[in-house]
Amino acid sequence: MKTLANAMITALETISDKADVIAAAKRMREKQIGSLAVVRRGTLMRDREERIIGLITETDIIRKAVAEERNLAATTVDMVMSNPMVAVEASWPLPEAYQMMKDAGVRHLLVTQHDVVVGLVSLRDLLVHLHEIS
């Protein structure tokens, strides 16, 4: 049975939580993708690594920034990103992952392996693979 590991994208595109929404939209257009993983760098000297804190999607930009008539240059990614994130293990069967997306009302899932993010799957990616199964 196919799992999320078969459908996920492993080359995650990221953006800083303090980048503006315009930068996020431009990155999505440039990469021809619909979402970016939002990262925050630790503030303590011992914690300088970036960690994923959310996702920003085209839908987030449209509904939470454009439709609310925010100043896009002054609106940071962390103000409109999707959070909390929905994440599941790479070993999940595709039909179960699809059902989770449907139940949670999301179009993107972070994929983890042993609690470490290893990829991302969109509803579109998942449907392509589910179609191949049937």
Question: Between the CA of residue 85 and those of 82, 119, 122, what are the distances in Å?
Answer: 7, 13, 13
pLDDT score for 47:
60
Tell me 62's DSSP state: I
Residue 43 has pLDDT above 70, yes or no: no
Residue 85 has pLDDT above 90, yes or no: no
- Average pLDDT estimate for 51-71: 95
The highest-level CATH class for domain 4-133 is alpha beta
Residue 45 has pLDDT above 70, yes or no: no
Strand order in the sheet with 87-89: 87-89, 108-113, 116-122
The tens digit of pLDDT for each residue in 108-125 reads 999 999 988 999 999 998
- How big is the chain by its Cα radius of gyration, in Å? 15
The domain spans of the chain are 4-133
The tens digit of pLDDT for each residue in 90-106 reads 999 999 999 999 999 99
pLDDT score for 92:
95
Could you tell me the two tokens for 38?
Answer: 């939002």
